[in-house]
Amino acid sequence: MTESSFEDIPGTTLFDGRMSRIGYHLNMFCMSLIKVENRAAFKADEASYLDRFSLTADQRRAVLERRWNDMLDMGGNVYYLAKLAATDGLPVVHLSAGMANLSPEDYARMMIGGGRRIDGNRSKRG
Amino acid sequence: MARISAGVGTSHVPAIGVALDLGKSGEPYWQPIFAGYEPTKAWIAREKPDVIILVYNDHASSFSLEVIPTFAIGCAAEYPPADEGWGARAVPLVEGHPELAWHTAQSLILDKFDMTIVNKMDVDHGLTVPLSLIFGQVESWPCRVVPLAVNVIQYPPPTGHRCYSLGKAIRRAVESFEDELNVVILGTGGLSHQLQGTRAGLINPDWDKAFLDGLTRDPDGLARIPHIDYVREAGSEGIEMVMWLIMRGALDAKVDELYRFYHVPASSTAVGHIVLANRGDRV
């Protein structure tokens, strides 16, 4: 088994060493938001607060525009990104809905209906 | 000597804690979930464990990418609830059992499990939601807790087999502790769920049921499941289920399944719960 075999799983980013390296500063920015004073400072002036962290220009833009899947692609981990969502007053489920390209209402309906089915979602090969 | 009388598996969905804390447990969405734990609440009130060894994962609360311990054991006297980004849960301080924890840490390390020893940490929903589910809303937790945190966020987490073996070593550690203690071990996390990516919302009830069946009847078989099967079949966050194998490893080869509960959904997650009792002679 190699890590590349995980790439066959659709719609799923494995948070492996490569993603962790790419996303380190992005995730540590999110981590800083577990402190109430940091949440206040970020909310007061998002751009200046982000200056404290060595984000790439693309990561920085994705944060400011709350593009969740782009943050995921740039090494963001969902448990860290959840701190950013929480700072916006949003639960993790909102983040998951956004990543699934569904409205929170449609996502909630899908979950109440039993969630996304596994059939057809095991492999990119179908 | 101390002995492990039973093991409990349970999901630790953060939204369950939020629902309870905000007084929403009677709402139609949440009521079936809390009702599903009532038999366990009655059972544990009779069982009266002195200590719970609580296997869980920290979700970027006390540990971050700065330091990522694969297996960490809490040896502190107490653990405050963590602020996870929306304020700390208003639940009681978690009291540790430093004597048993240090004994267990020492025993595990000499048994070739290289544990990280933690003397200061806040505990997040991974630890406090299971306590809330089995004890309800209380002024103080009715027993002491030894937290055992497992990395399941940064790939690779420990293998299921390694977790199962650690459980067996935990049992050896507990049974070599001289004080009379009734210990219950909790394995938490799962069941199937995926919080991220375009496949978010994945639920696989057939996998979950097979996993619960295997816990009771074929834990050796479960311990052979590779990571990719968890991720593919149970979702990227479903890999938390390896932590249940630590709980299972600490029990007898043959156990009695006292109770099982399964419900979809809580937020994005399939809630799974099982109570397994050792058959050994009870004091």
B155 in contact with A, Cβ within 8 Å? yes
Q: Give the pLDDT confidence score for residue B282 in this predicted structure.
A: 45
- In the residue annotation, B125 being an active-site residue is answered as yes
CB-based contact B72:B30 (threshold 8 Å) = no
Ramachandran sector of residue B177 (left: φ over 0; alpha: ψ -120 to 50; beta: rest): beta
Query: What is the distance, to the nearest Å, from the Cα of residue B228 to the centroid of all Cα atoms in its chain?
Result: 21
If pLDDT is split at 50, 70 and 90, which confidence band does A1 have?
very low
Examine the pLDDT at A4 and tell me if it is beyond 70.
no
Share of chain B above pLDDT 90, in %: 97
Q: Which of A50-59, B26-35, B71-80, B84-93 is the least confident region?
A: B84-93
**Average pLDDT over every residue of B178-187:** 98
If pLDDT is split at 50, 70 and 90, which confidence band does A10 have?
very high
Cβ within 8 Å, pair A100-B201? yes
Cβ within 8 Å, pair A92-B15? yes
Query: What is the distance, to the nearest Å, from the Cα of residue B270 to the centroid of all Cα atoms in its chain?
Result: 15
Binding-face residues of B in 105-144 toward A, CB within 8 A: none
Q: What is the pLDDT of residues B23-67, one digit of tens each?
A: 999 999 999 999 999 999 999 999 999 999 999 999 999 999 999
**Average pLDDT over every residue of A14-22:** 97
Sequence-distant (6+) residues with CB within 8 A of B84 are A34, A82, A83, A86, B14, B59, B61, B124, B125
Q: What is the pLDDT of residues B147-177, one digit of tens each?
A: 999 999 999 999 999 999 999 999 999 999 9
Cβ within 8 Å, pair A91-B15? yes
H or E segment and range at residue B45: helix B38-47
Angle between helices B98-110 and B160-175 (to 10 degrees): 120
Examine the pLDDT at A121 and tell me if it is beyond 80.
yes
Share of chain B above pLDDT 70, in %: 99
| CB contacts, 8 Å: B150 with chain A | none
Examine the pLDDT at A3 and tell me if it is beyond 90.
no
Q: Give the pLDDT confidence score for residue B280 in this predicted structure.
A: 76
B67 in contact with A, Cβ within 8 Å? no
**Average pLDDT of chain B to the nearest whole number:** 97
Integer angstrom CA distances of residue B189 from A81, B193, B195, B206: 19, 10, 13, 17
How many angstroms separate the CA atoms of B53 and B171, rounded? 11
If pLDDT is split at 50, 70 and 90, which confidence band does B283 have?
very low
Chain A residue nearest residue B264, CA to CA: A114
Q: Which of A57-66, B188-197, B219-228, B272-281 is the least confident region?
A: B272-281
Burial of B68 by CB count in 10 Å (0-12 exposed, 13-18 middle, 19+ buried)?
middle
Share of chain A above pLDDT 90, in %: 94
**Among partner residues B196, B202, B226, which is closest to A116 by beta-carbon distance?**
B202
Q: Determine phi and psi for B278, rounding to 5 degrees.
A: -70, 150
Tokens matching residue B10: 């349970």
Q: Which of B59, B97, B125, B273 is catalytic?
A: B125
If pLDDT is split at 50, 70 and 90, which confidence band does B239 have?
very high
Q: What is the pLDDT of residues A71-112, one digit of tens each?
A: 999 999 999 999 999 999 999 999 999 999 999 999 999 999
